[in-house]
């Protein structure tokens, strides 16, 4: 059984508690370039506690078998663990078990929805799928801050169906122009796809306001929850979204596992995206009939060990308390913004000091490429993300080609943020811009 660090405070994480839980993460104790690792790239992928690593190993050692396919003991045990994992993740995000579909990652989950709607538009799915069918002149609305994973699939769907893709612009501080959202979401809007938290700006979007706009015109809503599920309390039923996607590897879980949430009546009406074994009821040489959700979207051999390990990661987050994690990261996010604003020639992207944001901050150093900043920081054993963060249109809107991002998580300390800020100040001096 996994063990968890002892916690004392019902509110925020204390420094002693953070030190205790850091002991659960083996990689945090290694050195890079002769210095202790400072890992500030959790927005890209999180590190894993020992309990998650051990759960996956133990599954392979004791219970490994194909799920839903055998009557022997191991098959029954594996299937039970697999479905128990689904129930655990469902509870964590306020969903029903039949509303949770396993995918390889969030990108696949978003593509699943887009391509299944395309299949419905092509006439698949029968009368139940009629609600999803798009026609020329119908509109899909996204935002200017979307990750490519929640933009390119909708571009492809628009190209295949004749629908028109529109986007909600951002304001100078990185927040969505809600006046423009109200103007753009009309009776022609069939789908509204948007991120809960921007992976570049750190801004938390007003989900309920956006859903209300979509509901008023009968549009479907698709939420990218990749940067919210690991960091904020998430109740998908309360948010009233139709679909949502998030990845396991960003929330202490393994790679190779993602989650698609969909309201059960919608999932059961959607035609499948991938077809083959395990998602059918009857197959003849001429046709096939499909299982209800979620299994109709889980063709082929499944991500069994990964799902079980993700459930262990959710147990870990539950034990710490996602509300306490959110408060800890909000504090670190403000510390990042305040510190970055004190360094000359550094521009923070997104909300300013005192405005709500999660525990990440992206920034531009005037006259210095983000890759050069990243290499300087890496020499100091500080891991950050550099590049366009799969948001080229957003960076283009901001007038830059790339940025550097520091992102925290539950195991990040204030001292690590200070180490990063001091190293960045040294970097600006090294490159001659902090004069």
Distance, in Å, from the CA atom of 88 to the CA atom of 55, rounded to the nearest integer, reads 15
Comparing CA positions, the residue from 64, 23, 21, 5 lying closest to residue 308 is 64
Residues in the chain: 435
Running DSSP on this structure, what letter comes out for residue 20? H
Listed in sequence order, the residues at least 6 apart from 326 whose beta carbon sits closer than 8 Å to its beta carbon are 231, 232, 233, 358
Catalytic residue among 7, 66, 390, 400: 390
Token code pair at residue 428: 């600006």
Specify the residue for token string 């945090």: 28
Comparing CA positions, the residue from 430, 416, 392 lying closest to residue 38 is 416
Asked if 129 and 102 count as a contact pair (C-beta separation under 8 A), the reply is no
Token code pair at residue 101: 């579909």
**200 exposure class (CB count in 10 Å sphere: 0-12, 13-18, 19+):** buried
Decide the pairing of beta strands 189-195 and 139-143: parallel
What phi and psi, each to the nearest 5 degrees, are found at residue 151?
A: -130, -55
Phi-psi region of 62 (alpha: psi -120 to 50; beta: other; left: phi over 0): alpha
Annotation marks residue 226 as catalytic: no
Asked if 147 and 195 count as a contact pair (C-beta separation under 8 A), the reply is yes
**361 exposure class (CB count in 10 Å sphere: 0-12, 13-18, 19+):** buried
Neighbours of 286 (CB within 10 A): 5
Distance, in Å, from the CA atom of 244 to the CA atom of 263, rounded to the nearest integer, reads 9
- DSSP-based three-state secondary structure for 307: helix
Token code pair at residue 317: 């987050």
- Which residues does the annotation mark as catalytic? 390
């Amino acid at each position: 059984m996994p063990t968890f660090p002892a916690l004392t405070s019902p509110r925020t994480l204390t420094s002693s508690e953070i030190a205790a839980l850091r002991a659960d993460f083996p990689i945090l104790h290694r050195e890079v370039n002769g210095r202790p690792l400072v890992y500030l790239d959790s927005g890209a992928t999180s590190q894993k506690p020992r309990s998650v690593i051990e759960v996956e190993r133990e599954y392979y050692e004791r219970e490994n078998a194909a799920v839903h396919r055998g009557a022997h003991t191991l098959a029954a045990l594996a299937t039970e663990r697999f479905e128990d994992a689904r129930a655990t993740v469902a509870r964590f995000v306020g969903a029903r078990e039949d509303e949770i579909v396993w995918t390889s990652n969030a990108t696949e989950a978003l593509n699943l929805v887009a391509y299944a709607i395309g299949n419905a538009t092509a006439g698949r799915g029968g009368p139940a799928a009629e609600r999803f069918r798009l026609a020329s002149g119908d509109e899909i609305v996204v935002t200017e801050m979307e990750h490519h994973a929640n933009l390119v699939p909708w571009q492809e769907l628009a190209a295949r169906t004749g629908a028109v893709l529109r986007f909600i612009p951002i304001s100078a501080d990185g927040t969505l122009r809600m006046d423009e959202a109200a103007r753009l979401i009309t009776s022609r809007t069939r789908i509204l796809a948007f991120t809960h938290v921007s992976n570049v700006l750190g801004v938390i979007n007003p989900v309920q306001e956006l859903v209300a706009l979509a509901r008023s015109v009968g549009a479907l809503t698709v939420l990218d929850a990749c940067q919210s599920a690991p960091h904020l309390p998430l109740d998908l039923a309360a948010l009233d979204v139709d679909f949502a996607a998030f990845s396991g590897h960003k929330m202490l879980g393994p790679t190779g596992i993602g989650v698609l949430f969909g309201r059960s009546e919608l999932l059961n009406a959607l035609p499948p995206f991938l077809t083959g074994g395990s998602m059918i009821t009857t197959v003849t040489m001429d046709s096939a009939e499909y299982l209800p959700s979620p299994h109709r979207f889980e063709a082929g051999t499944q991500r069994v060990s990964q799902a079980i390990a993700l459930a262990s990661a959710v147990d870990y987050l539950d034990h710490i308390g996602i509300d306490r994690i959110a408060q800890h990261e909000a504090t670190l996010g403000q510390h990042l913004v305040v510190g970055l604003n004190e360094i000359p020639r550094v521009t923070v992207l997104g909300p300013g000091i005192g405005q709500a944001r999660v525990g990440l901050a992206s920034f531009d150093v005037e006259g210095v490429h983000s890759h050069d900043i990243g290499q300087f920081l890496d020499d100091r054993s500080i891991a950050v993300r550099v590049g366009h963060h799969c948001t080229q249109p957003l960076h283009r809107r901001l007038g830059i080609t790339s940025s550097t991002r520091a992102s925290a998580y539950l195991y990040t300390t204030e001292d690590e943020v200070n180490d990063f800020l001091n190293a960045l100040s040294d970097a600006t001096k090294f490159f001659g811009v902090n004069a």
